[in-house]
Amino acid sequence: MTQDIITVTCVPWVTLIPGERAEARLGLSVAEGFHVQANPAGGPFLLPLQIAFSRQQTLRAGRPRYPAGQRFRLQGSADPLLVYSGKFDLVVPVEAFADAEAGDYFLKGTLRYQACDARTCLFPASLPIVVPVEVLTPINQGKEVAVPVQARPFAQAVRS
**Residue 152 in domain:** no
Instruction: Say how far apart CA 119 and CA 35 lie, in whole Å.
Output: 11
**Residue 38 in domain:** yes
Domain count, the chain: 1
**Residue 101 in domain:** yes
pLDDT in the model for residue 159: 38
Residue 157 has pLDDT above 60, yes or no: no
**Residue 158 in domain:** no
98-150 per-position pLDDT tens digit: 999 999 999 999 999 989 888 888 889 999 999 999 999 876 444 454 444 44
Pairing of strands 21-30, 87-96: antiparallel
Question: Torsion angle of alpha carbons 101, 154, 28, 67, nearest 10°?
Answer: 40
Residue 160 has pLDDT above 60, yes or no: no
**Residue 148 in domain:** no
Residue 82 structural domain: 6-135
**Residue 55 in domain:** yes
pLDDT in the model for residue 9: 83
Q: pLDDT band at residue 3, thresholds of 50, 70 and 90?
A: low
**Residue 142 in domain:** no
Average pLDDT for 46-59: 91
Cα 31 → chain centroid? 17
Instruction: Say how far apart CA 19 and CA 47 lie, in whole Å.
Output: 34
* pTM for this model (two decimals): 0.79
Q: pLDDT band at residue 78, thresholds of 50, 70 and 90?
A: confident
Residue 75 sits in a domain whose CATH number is 2.60.40.1250
State the chain's mean pLDDT as an integer.
83
**Residue 47 in domain:** yes
Q: Percentage of the chain with pLDDT > 70?
A: 84
